[in-house]
Amino acid sequence: MTATPITLRPLWQADISALTELYTAVEAVEQTGEHYSEEDLEEEFANPELVLGKDVIGAFGGDELLGCASVLLRGAGGDGGDEGDARVVYAHGMTHPAHRGSGIGTLLVGATLERAREIAQDVGTVRLMAEAKAGNVDQVGLLEGAGLTPSKWNFVMRHQLQALPAPAAVPGYRVRTYRPEDAEKLRRTHNETFAANQDFTAWDAGEWDQWVTGSRNFRPGLSYLVVPEEDDGEIAAYLQTNEYDAVLQATGKREAWVARVGTAPAHRRRGLADLLLRHALDAYGAAGFDYAGLDVDSMHPTGALGLYERSGFVTDHATVQFETRVSS
């Protein structure tokens, strides 16, 4: 139990080292496979959508960082907003395992709700979303106690890169490696592909550069497009790969993270996603990766969970998404 009083204050770049240690301590217990380096968190803090001084809060016992919470209003930069519906605010939080049960989580959830109400004053009612690991009674109870209700499940899946049968060629299409000049076309294709997903917020150019093509974790040489034979510039399907150095540092193993997979609406039901996955999995093995990972939600409109299972991915663990609407 925590003996000293708990105080909340904003986190700044100067706190990144302590925040990295907190993430490491939490992962040692939670075993989600998520690892963060200081460089990863520096990239997070550089997000132009993040309002430092308001959106990331730390819980301190004296000078020790014991917990944190963050919120992120998606689409704050421009054309990425949800027009005609409530904007989405993603929330995330954690408490150091040695200090759980001392009320830190309750304080952080309260601060998160208060920040969401402040955001709602500027943009109108928002959908506040947060995740809990399935089966974690304390996390679930904390969110439900704050008025959030479960809305869907998400599955983190792994693939051990065992040999797979070569995919059959799809007449009229071919696979090629991503090129830098594909960045804007890929962003637009991704937005078009997921526009029908009720939880999707379109990406504007600045966000895409920050988190996708400009990210230190992006691996363009292991990211692939399916293009029609007659039009090399049209993207029929795509698979975008990341690699996180922090995973290798923590585990000694290389993970190829399948960050985004999609098939443009006009090219669906032709086996293009399967073609891409098998191409990428072969490439990961040849490049020396130990395994591949991805996450997928249970409400994915294209039935992606079944696709991944057929490709050899197995569920590592599940999380539950909770949400509530917050007004000013």
| C-alpha–C-alpha distance, residues 277 and 236, integer Å | 14
Residues 170-182 have pLDDT tens digits of 999 999 999 999 9
Q: How confident is the model at residue 76 (pLDDT cuts 50, 70, 90)?
A: low
Average pLDDT over residues 193-218: 92
Going by the DSSP 8-state scheme, the letter that residue 180 receives in this structure is G
Select 6-153+322-326's CATH number: 3.30.2310.20, 3.40.630.30, 3.40.50.720, 3.40.50.300.
3.40.630.30
Greater pLDDT, 163 or 170: 170
pTM for the whole thing? Answer: 0.89
Give the residues across from 258 on adjacent strands: 241
Average pLDDT over residues 30-43: 94
Residue from 230, 226, 205, 239 nearest 80 by CA: 205
CATH superfamily of the domain spanning 163-311? Gcn5-related N-acetyltransferase (GNAT) (3.40.630.30)
Could you give the residue range(s) of every CATH 3.40.630.30 domain in the chain? 6-153+322-326, 163-311
Select the more confidently predicted residue: 84 or 65: 65
- The confidence score (pLDDT) of residue 303 equals 64
Summarize pLDDT for 271-280 with one digit per residue, the tens: 999 999 999 9
CB 71 within 8 A of CB 55: yes
Per-residue pLDDT of 8-20, as tens digits, reads 999 999 999 999 9
pLDDT tens profile 102-150: 999 999 999 999 999 999 999 999 999 999 999 899 999 999 999 999 9
Secondary structure of residue 74 in the 3-state scheme: coil
Q: So what's the pLDDT on residue 77?
A: 44
